[in-house]
Amino acid sequence: MEYRKNAVGRLIPKEIEGRKLVPFKGAFAYRKRGHKASPPISYSEPGEKKLCKSLKDAILAAGLKDGMTISFHHHLRNGDGVVNMVLDTIADMGIKGLTLAPSALFPVHSPVIEHIKNGVVRNIQGSMNGPVGEFVSYGGLPTTAILRSHGGRVRAIEDGTLHIDVAFIAASSADEHGNLNGVYGKSQFGPLAYAMADAMYADKSIAITDTLLPYPNLPISIPAIYVDYVVVVDSIGDPSGIVSGTTRITRSPTRLLIAKYAAQFIRESGLLKDGFSFQTGAGGISLAITKFLGEIMEKEGIKGSFINGGVTRFAVELFHKGIVHSLFDGQVFDTESIDSFRDDTRHSETSMSQYANIHSKGCLVNRQDVGFLGATEVDTNFNVNVNTHSDGMLLHGIGGHPDVAAGAKLSMIVIPSFRNRIPVIRESVTTVTAPGETIDVVVTERGIAINPRRDDLIERMKGSSLPIKPIEELKDEVENICGKPAPPRLKDRIIALIEYRDGTYIDVVREVER
């Protein structure tokens, strides 16, 4: 295999499985020219019937065949029932060799492993959280998986890199004409943002709902013009599984300290003023920072512009108090947020293209002041790993991480300096997910490192009481406590590619020895 070194020093094969790979050149150094993908022309006439008697009927009608690509969205996260249901049906139908292109897979999707073994699934293009990632890490997938960020996935769909033959769209409510939303029905999950590009660009799309409502089903997140078939099933999943991680503010003193440092840093950075905007998610540290920032803003009368989320009740509270003017929402994590999303026009649905598509005419991540982000590892070049652990296991998806890192004025990694006595700050990350050039600050309980590229920020923070120090120092401290972790035991075979948001390749993931 012939390799080229990319801009973060990783070796990228020139070609793999017939796919020519452009090595990562820098966060904004590669610009693809050309035109967007062009889905087939459809035809609409009176009396058209979209309602199918069964999932199998819909799949037959959509013309699914061996070797095609099917897609899913993950708004129901670890509560999703649709991926497994569809794969079981497809397996029964004897269709094989599919590429599975979910926006993300979760532990609930471990039956996918059986469908890889029985030949139904031949490739995966999408984020893998948990068991499927583990299975792929040990070489279980016969082909090379591709992981993309939220912005990278929509870009890939729009520019034709990821062609979807049949999109399966779970909707908590639908009408018989295919107007879909996630805010009514028994399995509400909020926006349908992840699935918009799938619906718009797939050759065929099948809506799957457990609540069929009379026409017209309003509000419309995905309109009937993008939906070929509608199937009613008993259950699309269990919304309580949306919250697979935590949506509570951390109680760990270490993590609270990180959140405190982060909030203080933002305050001192000069960004925390009227019009302030940030991205937050559902993690414990992130929620604590949201709370702390909200308290400062409320106390000081600062009127924020927007929170871009993963929306939780903590963000909704700031919104309802008028501390921030609006919410942008691609994923909802709790019931309070669904209510707000449904009822308030300033709590606005954000398609992934609006959120983070580098091939758009302007996306939201570029408008954010601050993004708080997690990591499994950060290295002394500020490169961030969110995909693998230090043993090389591919256990996490990408989310919007590299998108936010590249777009936000201040991208901030908020992490403990080690976990289970394994260092998080390292000389070199196991896998590069986001390039160091897009990371401004790393905040740990042990100190804060500013990227030397941000001399403006270093200058600004001079005299701060915060424990600001070089990242090498942080690394040394952590290694003094934990020692260096053993290098992962890897085979030669590349089991996954990490695609950067612009379509270049930033790293590869290799098979782990058992």
Smaller CB separation from a second copy, 106 or 201: 201
Contact with a second copy (CB under 8 A): which of 5, 14, 32, 484?
32
CB of 298 to a second copy, least distance (A): 20
Choose one: 41-49, 113-121, 187-195, 490-498; the region binding a second copy (CB under 8 A).
41-49
Per-residue burial over 435-449, b = 16 or more CB atoms within 10 Å of its CB, e = otherwise = bbbbbbbbbbbbbbb
161 sits near a second copy (criterion: CB under 8 A): no
406's CB contacts (< 8 A; 6+ apart) are: 27, 28, 358, 365, 434, 438, 501
| C-alpha angle 492-495-501 in degrees, rounded to nearest 5 | 120
Residue 252 makes contact with a second copy by CB under 8 A: no
Binding mask 80-119 for a second copy (x = CB under 8 A): ----------------------------------------
The Cα angle at residue 511 between residues 506 and 513, in degrees rounded to 5? 140
Q: Which residue has the tokens 């009368």?
A: 301
Tell me how far the alpha carbon of residue 86 is from its chain's centroid: 22
Among 33, 251, 299, 514, binds a second copy (CB under 8 A): 33
Q: Is 26 helix (H, G, I), strand (E, B) or coil?
A: coil
Interaction of residue 43 with a second copy, rule CB under 8 A: yes
Q: Which stretch binds a second copy (CB under 8 A): 84-92, 211-219, 440-448, 452-460?
A: 211-219
Cis before 142? omega within 30: no
Give the DSSP letter string of 293-327. Answer: HHHHHHHHT--EEEEEEEE-HHHHHHHHTTSEEEE
Among 9, 63, 142, 219, binds a second copy (CB under 8 A): 219
Closest distance to a second copy from the beta carbon of 459 (Å) = 20
Which amino acid is present at 365? V
Mention every residue, 6+ apart, whose C-beta is less than 8 A from residue 390: 376, 377, 422, 423, 426, 430, 485, 488
Query: What count of Cα atoms within 13 Å lies in the side-chain half-sphere of residue 371?
Result: 28
Q: Give me Rg for the CA atoms of the chain.
A: 22
Q: Is 306 in the site for a second copy (CB under 8 A)?
A: yes
By CB under 8 A, is residue 228 in contact with a second copy?
yes
**Contact pattern for a second copy over residues 467 through 486, marking x by CB under 8 A:** --------------------
Residue 273 is a binding residue for a second copy (CB under 8 A): no
Please, which residue, 220 or 466, has the CB nearer to a second copy?
220
What number of chain residues touch a second copy (CB under 8 A)? 63
Residue 346 contacts a second copy per CB under 8 A: yes
Q: Look-up: residue for tokens 């718009």?
A: 200
Least distance in Å: CB of 89 to a second copy? 22
Question: Which residues form the interface with a second copy (CB under 8 A)?
Answer: 28, 31-48, 50, 158-159, 177-178, 205, 214-216, 218-220, 223-228, 275, 305-306, 325-326, 328, 342, 345-346, 348, 351, 353-354, 357-363, 366-367, 406-409
